Amino acid sequence: MITLEHVSKVFPGGTTAVDAVDLHVAEGEVAVLVGPSGCGKTTTLRLINRMVEPTSGRIVVDGRDASALPTHELRRGIGYVIQHTGLFPHRTIEGNIGTVPELVGWSKPAIRERAAELMELVGLPRELASRYPHQLSGGQRQRVGVARALAVDPPIMLMDEPFGAVDPIVRARLQEEFLRLQQEVRKTIVFVTHDIDEAITMGDRIAIFNVGGRLEQYASPRDLLAEPANAFVADFLGAERGLKRLALVRTSEVEAAPGPVVGAETPVEEAKDVANQAGTDWVVVVDAGRRLRGVAWLADLGGVERVGDVALQDPPLSVRAEDSLRTALDAMVTSHTGVAVRVGPEGTYEGVLTQDILTRELT
């Protein structure tokens, strides 16, 4: 959808902002450009809608050479969201969202209808339509910025630190909403941030830039974390790379161990055998429908016949299929059993996740 072929930008005065970058963003993908200050990530973004003209190289947008179109036509087909939103203070929210439709000559009723639709899509109450930007909160203004960029339903969106100016709580919510929205609209998105965690959360692919406009590595978050191309990338990814990788893998993607599991009616001796075979001093107890009931420690099983006769301990923290391995690790380290139990949608026992399983995943 977007291809940069050996693109460079040297500013008058000789500063190289972008140095021979090759980059391809597939349709419907989110590519995040990330790197330290002065690494050329914003310039690279602005090359795509020709807010900056390249010194050399070729940029292909939606199958056409970007330089072949008049800039205003190219830009009207590309949504653009910037950090401080750049909302028009003299226009209402509806007027702001209607900017590009107006430029390309939509009728007033059509613009009004589209604005209402987009406000709902980005989670803005309808009554804000006639308000002005300065009457809105920072988070609401960002949403207006996104809605405005989506107005004529462009296939491509360029977003320059769109959540950089709001506080961390609002940012986390906007990120979540962004991902939900992207599921729905499936745009091809190029997203600039200086926050590697935001990049890992948002990106299908991440481009890590170094000072001087050099693209060091372009890969999926998993590949990047698993195999950083060089010391700069590894350093930029930061500490706790293992934890970051675990955060990207769902528990459903690994095979859970069967674990020492028994029914409440199981005789104690049999339960002890099950525990011994698994090498644990506890068993997981489930009911007839295999729903999780709790944990019984072998030490507590003296003087009773059946496992269900003792007071069961609370079950170890359980995780679901959609949780990440990082969540599972958290469950492990906060449970005396040292494992996380994976349960199905109905709360049925599916198996246990152990630290061995996590280690295997990472190595």
Tell the smallest beta-carbon distance from residue 122 to another protein (Å).
16
Residue 284, C-beta contacts closer than 8 angstroms, at least 6 positions apart: 259, 260, 261, 262, 292, 294, 295, 315, 316, 341, 349, 352
* 261's tokens: 């599991």
**Which one of the spans 19-27, 92-100, 299-307, 321-329 is the region binding another protein (CB under 8 A)?**
92-100
Alpha helices per DSSP H over the chain: 41-48, 71-76, 93-97, 99-103, 108-121, 138-149, 168-185, 196-202, 221-226, 231-237, 241-248, 268-278, 325-333, 355-362
Q: Which is nearer to another protein, 211 or 333 (CB)?
A: 211
Tell the smallest beta-carbon distance from residue 60 to another protein (Å).
19
Residue 294, C-beta contacts closer than 8 angstroms, at least 6 positions apart: 284, 285, 312, 313, 314, 315
Binding mask 155-174 for another protein (x = CB under 8 A): ---x--x-------------
84 in contact with another protein (CB under 8 A): yes
From 2, 80, 256, 352, residue interacting with another protein (rule: CB under 8 A): 80
184 in contact with another protein (CB under 8 A): no
Binding mask 114-133 for another protein (x = CB under 8 A): ------------------xx
Secondary structure letter of residue 239 according to DSSP: S
* 340's tokens: 């996380």
Number of residues in the chain? 363
150 in contact with another protein (CB under 8 A): no
Neighbours of 109 (CB within 10 A): 8
Scanning residues 209 to 228, which ones bind another protein (CB under 8 A)?
Answer: 209
Q: Which is nearer to another protein, 91 or 290 (CB)?
A: 91
* 330's tokens: 């958290």
106 in contact with another protein (CB under 8 A): no
Report the interhelical angle of 108-121 vs 138-149 (nearest 10°).
Answer: 130
Scanning residues 130 to 149, which ones bind another protein (CB under 8 A)?
Answer: 132-135, 145, 148-149
289 in contact with another protein (CB under 8 A): no
Distance CA 353, CA 67 (A): 54
From 32, 146, 192, 275, residue interacting with another protein (rule: CB under 8 A): 192
From 87, 157, 301, 357, residue interacting with another protein (rule: CB under 8 A): 87
Q: Which is nearer to another protein, 86 or 267 (CB)?
A: 86
105 in contact with another protein (CB under 8 A): no
Number of residues this chain uses to bind another protein (CB under 8 A): 46
89 in contact with another protein (CB under 8 A): yes
| Nearest Cα residue to 122 out of 188, 190, 174 | 174
Q: Are 295 and 314 in contact (CB under 8 A)?
A: yes
Distance CA 336, CA 317 (A): 10
Tell the smallest beta-carbon distance from residue 118 to another protein (Å).
14
* 131's tokens: 């308000």
Tell the smallest beta-carbon distance from residue 72 to another protein (Å).
4
Binding mask 26-65 for another protein (x = CB under 8 A): -------x-x-xxxxxxxxx---x-x--------------
73 in contact with another protein (CB under 8 A): yes
Distance CA 200, CA 225 (A): 9
351 in contact with another protein (CB under 8 A): no
- Residues forming contacts to another protein in the complex (CB under 8 A) are 33, 35, 37-45, 49, 51, 71-76, 80, 82-92, 99-100, 103, 132-135, 145, 148-149, 158, 161, 192, 194, 209
